[in-house]
Structure 1
Amino acid sequence: MESKCKLTYFDAMGTAEPIRYLLYHGKIKFEDNRVDFQTWQSMKTSTPFGQMPVLEIDGKKMHQSIAICRYLGKKLALAGENDWESAQIDMAVDTVLDLRIKLSEFYWESDETVKQRKKATVLNETLPFVLERLNGLVKENGGYLALGKLTWGDFFFAGISEYMNCVTQFDITKDYPNLAALKKKICELPDVKDWISRRPVSQL
């Protein structure tokens, strides 16, 4: 019997897009449950820790986007084969996550003066520092983030880069050919490409 799967998130890409990429790539049928802010306020207490995304499989709820991606990666044979290999993926993914958090901090800052200061630091210092090293990491791994092969970490980077592009208002991979090639590789996988061609238009 096929599992019943539902992904709940805002009507946006955000931290749910890597999960969608993995679900579509793995041909896992799921309900893409998108909620608006008002609906979210009324259902927030019903989620494990008052956060989204939430992936529900046969009534069991999972939260935290990276934990969900890691779980799907194991199911789809896109994870490490031992603890050391798993750590290679985790290190790369956590680095990407740190960058996303830094970008989010300036984007959602309400004090305009503080926001501009944070933005300048992130765009002029943090972003190039991290992307240059990630670009080198992909080169070392033959076109992938880790292990010299396709892993769930590559899907995480490709999906979350969509959010980061929206925040920065430019393609973060434009000066980093190895990262650009990796993202293109993921986005041109047949089921991911099909999803991208028909997904709802979103600002984030």
Structure 2
Amino acid sequence: MSGKPKLHYFNGRGRMESIRWLLAAAGVEFDECFLETRDDLLKLQESGALLFQQVPMVEIDGMKLVQTRAIGSYIAAKYNLYGKDLKERALIDMYVEALTDLDELLMHYAFQPADKKEQYLANTVDKATNRYFPVFEKVLKDHGQDFLVGNQFSRADVRLLETLLMAEECKPDILAKFPLLQSFKARISNVPTIKKFLQPGSQRKPPLQEKDLPKVMKIFNIGQ
């Protein structure tokens, strides 16, 4: 039996992507079990493996963990990506929570009706560039270190890089006014485990394509 973590989700980003990023950053190999149909999810629910009937679910260390934040916290703590003390952990959590809010906006773009996509994207870009990115630019300036918290690579750095790259997919010049975020992106992209994850052929997922939307919506019974 494999000792690798096993990830249960559909073959796409969604809420599992931040977990894939975190495991990859820690240098941990993982297996994936993809939900291909609505029946796959129903069978998993009926098996009792999903505590709250939802995925993502990660099998790790003899546990079947659900709830994205809980999974991320466990992985970060296990692999020393969670700061050196309680204060650093609080900062990491604060930054990750904010980035999760922005990620949700970016993820939902694909699900917008065609006639609302342009306005939705404009609103998301506005929030990214006026509410979120200025904060992280200031944090990097005030902190004066290579990383967001302490002087150690953490899950906050991983999540910020993931978010920056997602935002650039929506608007390639979105970081134009944020030189420290640009430097951060280049620096963290060169962390060896991250660099490997960014290479073609890794388990990083591409943006959700319009052709894949009906399948995903059917699996999760969205709009039914």
TM-score, normalised via structure 2 length = 0.73
Does residue 189 of the first structure (1) align with residue 171 of the second (2)? no
What secondary structure is seen at the aligned counterpart in 1 of 2:198?
Answer: helix
- Any idea what the Cα deviations from partners look like across 1:86-120, whole Å, max 9, x if unmatched? 1111111111111122334454233734x443332
**Cα gap change, 1:195/1:66 in structure 2, threshold over 3 Å: closer, same or farther?**
same
Cα contact 1:134–1:179 (8 A) shared by 2: yes
| Unaligned stretches of 5+ residues in structure 1 | none
Provide the residue aligned with 1:203 in structure 2: 207
- Any idea what the Cα deviations from partners look like across 1:53-83, whole Å, max 9, x if unmatched? 2211144111233322221111111213332
What secondary structure is seen at the aligned counterpart in 2 of 1:80?
Answer: coil
Provide the residue aligned with 1:102 in structure 2: 105
RMSD: 2.9
Equivalences, count:
201
Does residue 85 of the first structure (1) align with residue 88 of the second (2)? yes
**Cα gap change, 1:183/1:52 in structure 2, threshold over 3 Å: closer, same or farther?**
farther
Provide the residue aligned with 2:11 in structure 1: 11
Provide the residue aligned with 2:124 in structure 1: 122
Distance in 2 between residues matched to 1:16 and 1:172, nearest whole Å: 24
| Unaligned stretches of 5+ residues in structure 2 | 209-224
Cα contact 2:81–2:154 (8 A) shared by 1: yes
Which amino acid is 2:8 matched to? T
- Counting only pairs closer than 5 Å after superposition, residues 1-204 of structure 1 correspond to structure 2 as 3-38=3-38, 40-43=40-43, 45=45, 46-110=49-113, 112-113=115-116, 115-123=117-125, 125-129=126-130, 130-141=132-143, 142-166=145-169, 168-170=170-172, 172-197=174-199, 198-199=201-202, 202-204=206-208
**Cα gap change, 1:136/1:43 in structure 2, threshold over 3 Å: closer, same or farther?**
farther
Which amino acid is 1:182 matched to? F
**Cα gap change, 1:68/1:172 in structure 2, threshold over 3 Å: closer, same or farther?**
farther
Distance in 1 between residues matched to 2:10 and 2:57, nearest whole Å: 11
Q: How far apart are 1:30 and its partner, in Å? A: 1.9
Which amino acid is 2:183 matched to? A
Which shifted more, 185-194 or 90-99?
185-194
Percent of residue pairs bearing the same amino acid type: 25
Cα contact 1:15–1:160 (8 A) shared by 2: no
Distance in 2 between residues matched to 1:160 and 1:37, nearest whole Å: 28
The higher radius of gyration belongs to 2
Which amino acid is 2:122 matched to? A
TM-score, normalised via structure 1 length = 0.79
Provide the residue aligned with 2:215 in structure 1: none
- Any idea what the Cα deviations from partners look like across 1:40-60, whole Å, max 9, x if unmatched? 544462533343322111441
**Cα gap change, 1:2/1:74 in structure 2, threshold over 3 Å: closer, same or farther?**
farther
